[in-house]
Amino acid sequence: MDRHELTERTLPFLLRRLHDAGISATPHTDEHTGSTHLEIDGWRRINVENLIDELAQTDPSKHEVRIERWVAFIMESGRIAEQSVTDPDELRQRVRTRIIPADLAADPHLSYARPFPGGLALALCLDFPNTVTTVTNEHLDKYPLSLDELYHWGQINTDNEAIDEHTACGPFTGIAGESLFIASKAAHIASLVSTLRIDAPHGLLFAIPDRSVLLYAPADPTVITEQYLRLLDYLRIDFMRRLRSTPAHTLSKDLFYCSPDGSFGAITRSGHPDVQELFTTLDLDADRLVELAVKNMNFFEGFRTRFYPSNMCACRRPAATLRAPVRTLSP
């Protein structure tokens, strides 16, 4: 049974059981990724793809039991979400920053979320033993800490989330973990550089294709164009594989750059319609790859002035030798 068929069979039963439990749930499908989520009680979002991942690895005879557990999980997470944490010390301990995709950032209940490059946003979550809840505007009014304090403590906690894997991934080095906040370490990339003792005198190129993965590579000014092409080629293939296997976990297909002074931004525009072939066609010939890579460039001022001060780009050269073997880092 393929993923689509499994979703089609699971969703009606899940919706019926939630209705029986007195929970209003409306399914929505992301037009870009094809992933499905439920809008619960008008504002909470539950990603069905996580359930589908579980069912795909479970004997079909046990699917109903798994779905019932999910119904119980949704009920429990709703109960926790409706409670307000009033103890400031508990709040400092539980709060986390989390980078979220643009569609989630557009939710009016999350209007406090701070912009992050590449059309993403930095929101707040509370990490409980069995669930993670997203902080909403309504929660903020009840908390004993200010928004700035929450972001301060949230980023400290996210910076301290455990890294379970640290390994070479093609032209990148990758970190991953069970935590869904690993990619959000990118919001304080300087801390990561310090913690991992990354030697990046010319800045750091990085990507966050998955919520639990961060890929990075110190920028090399002597071969910056070739490096850009190698990283982009690896990232696009890696992202396509993640989109097929765990679409609910995917985050961004952009490439980012952080300068030595700490300023950073996206250097690609991977959501643009003109470059989608990069993320739908696995085997691109070298010339087509270069053509699309040039279209995908979105160099911000700090990157352009450091590496292309004369506004010249060598990306037109053949790219036949720029391929790197893909080793996908799994959380």
pLDDT at 220 over 80: yes
**Domain co-membership, 96 together with 49:** no
Query: Does residue 313 lie within any of the structural domains?
Result: no
Number of domains in the chain: 3
Q: What is the pLDDT of residue 76?
A: 76
Query: Does residue 199 lie within any of the structural domains?
Result: yes
Host domain of residue 29: 1-83
**Domain co-membership, 187 together with 292:** yes
**Domain co-membership, 149 together with 241:** no
**Domain co-membership, 118 together with 238:** no
**Domain co-membership, 172 together with 300:** yes
- pLDDT band with cut points at 50, 70 and 90 for residue 33: low
Range list of β-strands (E), the chain? 25-29, 36-40, 44-47, 95-100, 114-116, 120-127, 132-134, 165-169, 172-176, 204-210, 213-218, 256-258, 264-266
**Domain co-membership, 252 together with 215:** yes
Query: Does residue 145 lie within any of the structural domains?
Result: yes
Highest mean pLDDT among 125-134, 230-239, 316-325: 230-239
The pLDDT tens digits of the residues spanning 113-165 come to 999 999 999 999 999 887 888 998 988 988 999 999 999 999 999 999 999 99
The residue from 52, 83, 114 where one domain ends is: 83
The residue from 83, 117, 143 where one domain ends is: 83
66 contacts 53 by C-beta, under 8 angstroms: no
**Domain co-membership, 173 together with 154:** no
The pLDDT tens digits of the residues spanning 237-295 come to 999 999 888 888 899 999 999 999 988 999 999 999 999 999 999 999 999 999 999 99
- What secondary structure letter does DSSP report for 83? S
**Domain co-membership, 97 together with 79:** no
Q: What is the pLDDT of residue 110?
A: 92
Q: What is the pLDDT of residue 329?
A: 60
Q: What is the pLDDT of residue 20?
A: 85
Query: Does residue 326 lie within any of the structural domains?
Result: no
**Domain co-membership, 153 together with 184:** no
Tell me which of 18-32, 56-70, 129-143, 220-234 is least confident: 18-32
**Straight-line distance from the first to the last Cα atom of the chain, in angstroms, rounded to the nearest whole number:** 24
pLDDT at 331 over 80: no
- pLDDT band with cut points at 50, 70 and 90 for residue 31: low
Query: What is the mean predicted confidence (pLDDT) over 75-102?
Result: 85
Query: Does residue 317 lie within any of the structural domains?
Result: no
